[in-house]
Amino acid sequence: MHGTMLAAVFEDEGRLAVREVPIPVVRGPHDVLIKIEACGVCGTDIRFLAVPPVIQARKGVILGHEYVGQVVEVGTDVLQFQPGDRVAVIPDLPCGRCQFCAEGRPNLCERMVSIGGDIDGGFAHYALAPARALYPISAELPAEEGAFVELLSCVLGGVQKAALLPGEDVVILGAGPAGLVYLKVLKTAGAGRVIMVEVSPWRIEFARRMGADEVVNPQKEDLRGAVRAITGKGAHVVVDAVGSQLTAAMSVARKGGRIIVFGEDHKAECTIRPQDIQGQELRILGSFIGIHLFPKAVKMLESGVVRFQDLITHRLSLTDLPAGIAELAAGHGAKGVCFPWLS
Ligand SMILES: [Zn+2]
Ligand SMILES: [Zn+2]
């Protein structure tokens, strides 16, 4: 296929430019050209675009790593996909050869390449991806549900570590998209009470509507006391979906509780007392991406056991994308999804 397409390109610090670029061409034997149906806006995109950036994207790269679409063309060695198939992208490509890959922990790969950060992603009409980065989705799955698959697979990585038993109480710090996906998944998994912790008035209201049993604003009430008043002894499972809340997470965990550090904040530091971990036998578990959880995430979306569409507050065309991302970065909204063919 020839010609040009619209794409959202990371140009420089804080600058996402929507402009015409060439439609990518299938060259390698493992290349797959995909017509993008939908691509979620991730917290990572917001951190790429922060000034100064919190995480580095390569200049000139097309952002967007939470996409689903339809196969248009395949390279000569691609046997598992053919034009017309629908796919979701698994955006983090491990090298397959480093020690961590060899030990079965590809999420900790030392030479990871990320689609929509290091190489071109899905905020565009078309994207090129290697076949190994694609996973099939059904013809029936709505594109806007499909746009949640990557975030959901990451959340499932944390849920797996949390090993929640039905009835156990949960505290989720941060009611952004990740926190809200945790809310829905843990509720579905049989959590007892789920308490969310948030300071933004908009997000507090939204989290209530999405099914949080309680939302505590730590700027208005004592967090530890509020959680104890609801749960008695504290939460069995605590998720830090912000990335800077470990001290708060430890204060609301029950003795023997599990704390999942999920949010990514490269600058946050906190002070903790090791004795609180030792004496209360807290388990603090970091969670990054997840290992081989795409099939489970796709199955959950296809079965409809949990639905995420109501988390979408921003349905954006490519032209609307920069302004939409700025709004989401300011906390005025939950999940944004870009539909490149929307005009
Ligand atoms: Zn993401
Ligand atoms: Zn590796």
Q: The CATH number of the domain where 196 resides is what?
A: 3.40.50.720
The identity of residue 260, as a single letter, is: I
Q: Which ligand is nearest to the CA of 96?
A: 2
Tell me: do 129 and 189 sit in the same domain: no
Ligand 1 centroid distance, CA of 221 (Å): 32
Please tell me whether residues 258 and 319 are part of one structural domain.
no
Is the pLDDT at 1 greater than 80, yes or no? no
CA of 96 to the centre of ligand 2 (A): 5
pLDDT at 312 over 80: yes
β-bridge partners, 343:
none
Residues 6+ positions from 102 with CB-CB distance below 8 Å: none
Distance 231 CA to ligand 1 centre (A): 32
94-114: pLDDT as tens digits: 999 999 999 999 999 999 999
Alpha carbon of 255 to ligand 1 centroid (Å):
32
How many domains is the chain built from?
2
Q: Which of 50, 79, 66 is nearest to 115 (CA)?
A: 66
Instruction: Supply the pTM of this predicted model.
Output: 0.96
What confidence tens digit (pLDDT) does each residue in 169-214 have? 999 999 999 999 999 999 999 999 999 999 999 999 999 999 999 9
Same domain, 277 and 178: yes
Q: Are residues 260 and 166 in the same domain?
A: yes
Q: Find the CATH number of the domain harbouring 18.
A: 3.90.180.10
Please tell me the distance between residue 31's alpha carbon and the centre of ligand 1 in angstroms: 22
Quick check: 179 and 204 in contact, CB under 8 A? no
**Does residue 300 fall inside a structural domain?**
no
Q: Across-strand partners of 312?
A: 335
Tell me the backbone φ, ψ of residue 168, rounded to 5 degrees.
-70, 145
Assess if residue 243 is contained within a domain: yes
Residue 76: CB atoms within 10 A of its CB come to 10
Same domain assignment for residues 137 and 162:
no
Q: Are residues 14 and 131 in the same domain?
A: yes
* 75 inside domain: yes
Which ligand is nearest to the Cα of residue 99, counting in written order?
A: 2
Measure the CA–CA gap between 128 and 26, rounded to whole angstroms.
7
- Kindly state whether residue 121 falls inside one of the protein's structural domains: yes
CA atoms of 146 and 87, how far apart (whole Å):
9
CA of 176 to the centre of ligand 1 (A): 12
Is 54 in the same domain as 142? yes
Residue 203 lies in a domain: yes
Q: Are residues 133 and 159 in the same domain?
A: no
Contact indicator for 229, 252 with CB cutoff of 8 Å: no
Domain that includes residue 34, residue range: 4-148+308-338
Closest ligand to residue 289's CA: 1
The answer to whether residue 17 is domain-embedded is: yes
Q: What dihedral angle (degrees, nearest 10) is formed by the CA atoms of 33, 35, 40, 44?
A: 30
Distance (angstroms) between ligand 2 centre and the Cα of 148 equals 25
Q: CA-CA distance, 175 to 196, in Å (whole number)? A: 7
- Are 187 and 100 found together in one domain? no
* One domain for residues 203 and 137: no
Q: Are 241 and 176 in contact (CB under 8 A)?
A: yes
d(CA 274, CA 282): 10
- Phi/psi of residue 249, each to 5°? -60, -45
The CA 68 to ligand 2 mean position distance, Å, reads 25
